[in-house]
Structure 1
Amino acid sequence: MHRLNSIAAGLCVLLLQANAFAGSQATAITAATQKNLPEYLELLSLPNVAAEPKDIERNVVFLEQSFQKRGFKTHRLENPAGRPMLLAELDGARASVPTILFYAHFDGQPIVKEEWAQKDPFEPVVKERNAQGAWQEVPRERLFAKPFDPELRVFARSASDDKSPIVMLLTAVDVLQSQRKTPAINVKVLLDSEEEMGSPSLATTVKAHAQLFKADALIVLDGPLHGSGKPTLVFGNRGITQATLTVFGPTAPLHSGHFGNYVPNPALRLASLLASMKDDDGRVRVEGYYDGIELSDADRQILRATGDDEAALLKRAGIAKAERVGATYQEALQYPSLNVRGMASASVGAKASNIVPSEAVAEIDIRTTPETDGRRLFELLKRHIEKQGYHLVDAAPTKEQRATYDKLAMFKLGSVEAAARVPMDAPVGRWAMTALKSATAPAPKAEPVRIRMMGGTVPTDVLVEALGLPFLLVPTVNADNNQHTFDENMRLGNFVTGAETVYSLLVTKYPKYPK
């Protein structure tokens, strides 16, 4: 009995020491986060739409300085578009330990200022919810108050996607250096300047600087946490294929009174054509579209294990019923999607005219899976359009074509990024699981959520093809961050836990294994 009591007492001491360590670690990372928030706000104040190379240049200069002052050697990787990328290597690399390449991007989606509930999306503001649940602006000084308020949010373009993970990584490095600790891995960081436009220069850049990119695994710091807020690991991402569909009408807009009921309206024809592609439950009707997707019972068990709150998802989206492509949210992500991301035909509102428009345009995006190639799906859609009686042209139709064919359309393929996925028992996943369950992780007692494949797209296909690396996505930002739309935001509590997550990855030994 005495021996059992001694063992129990020893375990209690170890538990208290572990809790004390975790508490001090959280305190250190919270303090480092608050110290780095001015740097974060300054980075957010730099416009970063990739279509403006001068803005990208200003971001690169800022990030070079941020990494260099922490002991990183930086390499500016130029491209013909004038949007340089940045590769940073932390000093002190050792041949005896593996190298992990962290990926993030610093460009952001285009903005429409009028949609935002603030003066300028590139003038970050701090907000909290009031008693009615609405967001209200508060002074920036609140960010630095004690005790730290994790529910404050920073609103700005790229607040979450994807500048915050970059500063989280820098914060984790700051804490390591303040503790005079050496990372358990060699650290390289790739900062992409063109992710939101499909990373068109990435493949060429990687091939031109192959030696700089040598690593043992790739960690992508992008995407939102699971809706539960638990630490999250994602083992794949969907690809994206973009296309433009134009339906032609008269050679010029015509008076709707004189020509309505006589000249076919291309906007109505486009609407009918798009409607023919999906049924009322959201399933794509195009023959062969879902070919190759086979989910086993084990796959479905993994998908169910994520524990999504389907009622909360419906409430967040503001809809009564989900489409039925899959039985659940996670299952739906395993199939290729067909989305209309924008439509246009003449003008609306005060600028609308009483006309039959000359053409109607739909911008389409297809989110693909590893089993479904985007170019093949484009060809299937093309054949479907032709089966609806359309003659497809490669440019604006000629007089002869207009006189010959009743239904004229143009279907143009845009950018194509492939999906990628790794097995859920891959060594890179086991390493990350160890890190996220360690004492330094945000919730060491919580089982991380493992997601087979996330819905969004990052350029893993280019990096995996060029480098041959196993990869994993480690999201850190709040699920309700409004990325890609107006009022994008970052919850400060997630900023701290994100820095803790990256810190845990940095201090966890990575096993060497044959590639």
Structure 2
Amino acid sequence: MRWGFMALAACIAAPVAAAPADWVAANQSKILAEYAELLAIPNVASDIPNIRRNADHIVGMMRTRGLSPRLLEGSGPTVPPAIYGEWKVPGAKRTLILYAHYDGQPVTPEDWKSTAPFEPKLLTARLDKGGKEIPLPSAGTKIDPDWRLYGRSASDDKAGVMAILSAVDALKAEGKRPAFNLKIFFEGEEEAGSPNLGDLLKRHKNMLQSDGWVIFDGPAHQTGAKQVVLGVRGVLSADIIVYGPSRPLHSGHYGNWAPNPAMMMSQLLASMKDDSGRVTVAGFYDDVTPLTAAEKAAVAAVPNGDAALKDDLFLGWTEGGKRPLIELTHEPSLNVDGVRSADVGEKARNVVPSTAMATIDMRLVAGNDHQRQFDKVVAHIRKQGYFVTDKDPTPNERRQHGKVAKVVKHGGYNAERTPLGHPLARDVAAAVRTVHADAVVLPSLGGSLPLYLLREGLSAPSVTLSLANHDNSQHAEDENLRLGNLWDAIGVAATVMTMGPVR
């Protein structure tokens, strides 16, 4: 039966086991030392040797906890392995899988001001708020929850790995066990778009049977409230290259004659959104499945933290016609990740560049299809007068067409959403709100995870817990984790592990 939002709200007050806050408080320095060791292992998804170092290290962490770990291999040695563990409970009536991913986004070390990306450092506050580096604390040292641990994947998503494994420690220290058969699944290529996850799930389908997945990933709400989200947006990315002369040309001799691809790219990208930030690609919003009345009520119930966020980010205006951020994250989006053409600043030369390149990403919501959305953008580029190809254009193609664009799609997957009234949604929301009464329940997260594969491949529902600090700079330089959010995440994980069904 599909429950409405008010029915869900009535259920989330059901009591479950309390989080082991005392154990966490007594073991903070030990947790932090183990976590820093894990963060020091480079984990860019394409770096297979180091990805396997991470996997082997995490297997060791799980083995010491008695979780019977093993690597789940894919179709070849270049496929990052998933990591599986389990804690079987005699007489348990159901099985749940807890998920996090151990890979991270690529890094540009020279852009990091806090630390080298894989040399984790502890600061007394956020770097731009005057935080100073301090040594990792020894046992018995009082630890401020506002201290920040800096390093790639500190928040996204080795924090999920550490929270789950520390929660296992907490339960065992207190002589407790999960309320269900617990399975653990750590993925190794989520930040690369999970191209092999579907095959991994198929290869190990019997082992991964469950009543649902609980995903540890993403930030808390901008107000600090923990987020229980029942869906995620889909995503796809694409590279666009536009072409000018066959070689860079002197800007004085040719600057108002040879087409400048940097200018062409700027105009092309500008044509994709209006002044309010709404995407102008034809049909971009046509496929969206509207939120239900209950889902709209859930969105409306979330506190509005936009004013404080604008102030923190030095924003004089925002896109979306002054609509709240939380509403806009439930719509599809188009973002420019970066643009490159020749050089700037001290390296700039007076030239007409030969090419310009941009990478865009699109976030998708229920109803969108990633290939169909990509095709709409390609059609838009053609409407701007471009000959579009997915291969390097030949010299003759460049001569024959006034505008040439190479457009290549990278990966892509669709959105996923579990109904508000699903039993797993009710259980997880109830558990989280016993330790964080202000937790918000949302239809979807702004970010993306390939959770549609769990439904398609395993017929499994999923619920995502987003617990890291919202200002964690995930995917960017100076990624960080507020320590208080790590302690909270451990408590939430332990509470979820011991939750019973809502009656």
Same fold, TM-score > 0.5, yes or no: yes
In 2, distance between residues paired with 1:182 and 1:394? Answer: 54
1:337-486 alignment to 2 at 5 Å? 337-438=333-434, 441=435, 443=436, 446-486=437-477
| Counterpart secondary structure, 1:321 | coil
| Conserved? CA contact 2:20–2:494, under 8 Å | no
Q: Please say which structure displays the higher CA radius of gyration.
A: 1
Amino acid across the alignment from 1:469: A
Change (3 A) 1:115 1:268: same
SS at match of 1:158: coil
Match of residue 220, structure 2, among 196, 219, 225: 225
* Partner in structure 2 of residue 504 of structure 1: 495
Structure 1: give runs of 5+ residues left out of the alignment. 1-17
Match of 1:92 among 88, 94, 101: 88
Residue 163 of structure 1 and its aligned partner are, at CA, apart by 0.9
Structure 1 residue matching 2:377: 3-state secondary structure: helix
Q: Structure 1 residues 131 and 409 mapped into 2: Cα distance closer, same or farther (>3 Å)?
A: closer
Q: Deviation of residue 238 (structure 1)?
A: 0.6
My pick for the range that moved more, 313-322 or 487-496, is: 313-322
- Flag the 1:301–1:96 CA change in 2: closer, same or farther, 3 A: closer
| Cα distance in 2, alignment partners of residues 172 and 373 from structure 1 | 37
1:259-290, Cα deviation, whole Å (9 max, x unpaired): 11111111111111111111000001112111
Question: Does 2:484 align with 1:488?
Answer: no
> Percent of aligned positions with the same letter in both sequences?
37
Indicate the SS of the match to 2:448.
coil
The 8 Å contact of residues 326 and 332 in structure 1, kept in 2 or not, is answered as no
Amino acid at match of 2:270: A
Specify whether residues 136 and 334 from structure 1 end up closer, same or farther in structure 2 by C-alpha distance, changes over 3 A only.
Answer: same
SS in 1 for 2:409: strand
Change (3 A) 1:119 1:28: closer
Q: Give the drift of 1:117.
A: 2.0
Q: Does 1:319 align with 2:309?
A: no
Q: Which has the higher contact order (CA 8 A, sep 6+)?
A: 2
Cα deviation for residue 50 of structure 1 reads 1.4
SS in 1 for 2:223: coil
Paired amino acid for 1:468: S
Q: Matched residues in 1 for 2:189 and 2:34: separation?
A: 22
Question: Which residues in structure 2 correspond to 1:125-140 (within 5 Å)?
Answer: 125-129=121-125, 133-140=129-136
Report 1:206-245 matches (<5 A): 206-245=201-240
Q: How many equivalent pairs are there? A: 486
2:371 aligned counterpart, secondary structure: helix
- Does the Cα contact within 8 Å between 1:392 and 1:408 map onto a contact in 2? yes
Cα distance between partner residues in 2 of 1:45 and 1:414: 29
Matched residues in 1 for 2:380 and 2:80: separation? 41
Match of 1:8 in 2: none
One-letter amino acid matched to 1:506: M
State the Cα RMSD in Å. 2.2
Matches within 5 A, 1:184-333: 184-293=179-288, 294-295=290-291, 298-324=294-320, 327-333=323-329
Q: Following the alignment from structure 1 to structure 2, what is the Cα–Cα distance between the partners of residues 232 and 474?
A: 6
CA distance in 2, matches of 1:410, 1:210: 39
Deviation at 1:410, TM superposition (A): 1.6
TM-fit CA distance, 1:435: 1.1
1:41-60 alignment, distance < 5 Å:
41-60=36-55
The CA deviation at 1:495 is 1.3
What is the CA distance between 1:316 and its match in structure 2? 2.7
SS in 1 for 2:68: strand
Distance in structure 1 (CA, Å) of the matches to 2:479 and 2:266: 31
1:14 paired residue number = none
Task: Quote the offset at 1:160 in angstroms.
Answer: 0.9
Shift of residue 324, structure 1, vs aligned partner: 1.3
For residues 422 and 200 of structure 1, what CA distance do their matches in structure 2 show? 22
What amino acid is aligned across from residue 111 of structure 2 in structure 1? E
Alignment partners' CA distance in 1, 2:396 and 2:228? 57
